[in-house]
A and B are shown apart, each in its own frame.
Chain A
Amino acid sequence: SQQGEEDPQALSIQEGENATMNCSYKTSINNLQWYRQNSGRGLVHLILIRSNEREKHSGRLRVTLDTSKKSSSLLITASRAADTASYFCATRPSYNTDKLIFGTGTRLQVFP
């Protein structure tokens, strides 16, 4: 399998706490993206970070990228019960392809 790995596999927190998920990947990349998937539904794009960027913010989301370690992290601040979902990182390899290579995902549960 080409999939990257994410940790933790599962995370349970209380509303208001921060949630951090980590992603490691294998190939050189053009960009890395994070997606959210609610149970039984399709994936929703959250944020994209290019290979020449180190950090990006969008609302309560903060993404970091370390290409030397082939790793990324997603931080969700002040979590809400509605953030309960599975989160996947996906990389766009730097060789000539448009496909995405997804990680194994982190299941986040936020308790009210």
Chain B
Amino acid sequence: GAGVSQSPRYKVAKRGQDVALRCDPISGHVSLFWYQQALGQGPEFLTYFQNEAQLDKSGLPSDRFFAERPEGSVSTLKIQRTQQEDSAVYLCASSPARDHTDTQYFGPGTRLTVL
């Protein structure tokens, strides 16, 4: 079946622009996660949802970052007034249910470059 998909795959933004990154999780997956991966580093947690509820947003670096999942499926990560330090790969992952042994299935990521 289809895996997690993300769009766009690549995004170039001028400093100060707003961007929106989309994640389509695996159908039926309850949990959805966003991570930020800087070049040469491991992914860092941003936020996660269980259905439409945002249960943890402790990793969002500033109030310029906002995520939503209004109908409990597709999610959007929005970054307002982008800065150069926002350049990174943004990874989305989903998992079937709230279970500590659940695997997270990752999408290919969106590579954001802020000029």
A interface list, Cβ under 8 A from B: 1-3, 30-31, 33, 35, 41-45, 48, 50, 88, 90, 92, 97-105
Residue from the list A41, A45, A98, A101 in contact with B105, Cβ < 8 A: A45
Count of B interface residues, CB-CB < 8 Å: 28
Residues on B lying within 8 angstroms of A by beta carbon are 4, 31, 33, 35, 41-45, 48, 50, 55-56, 59, 91, 93, 95, 98, 100-109
- Nearest Cβ in chain B — how far from A100, in angstroms? 6
A102–B31 CA distance with the chains assembled, in angstroms: 18
The reply to whether B42 and A104 contact each other, CB–CB distance below 8 Å, is: yes
User: Can you name 23 A-B residue pairings with CB atoms under 8 Å?
Assistant: A2-B45, A3-B41, A42-B4, A42-B91, A42-B106, A42-B108, A43-B91, A90-B42, A98-B31, A98-B33, A98-B48, A98-B55, A98-B56, A98-B98, A99-B33, A99-B56, A99-B59, A100-B33, A100-B45, A100-B104, A102-B42, A105-B41, A105-B42
Chain A residue contacts of B33, Cβ below 8 A: 98-100
- Residues of A close to B93: CB separation below 8 A: 43
Whether A45 and B104, one on each chain, are in contact in the complex, defined by CB atoms closer than 8 angstroms, is: yes
Contact status B42-A48, CB under 8 Å: no
Contact of B48 among A43, A50, A99 (CB under 8 A): A99
- Give A104 to B41 CA distance when docked, in angstroms: 5
Say yes or no: A44-B31 contact (C-beta < 8 A), given A99-B48, A103-B42: no
* New A-B pairs, 18, CB < 8 Å, besides A1-B44, A48-B103, A98-B102: A3-B41, A3-B42, A30-B100, A31-B100, A41-B108, A42-B106, A43-B91, A43-B93, A48-B101, A50-B101, A98-B31, A98-B48, A98-B55, A98-B95, A99-B48, A99-B56, A99-B59, A100-B43
Assess the A102–B103 pair: CB atoms within 8 A. Answer: no
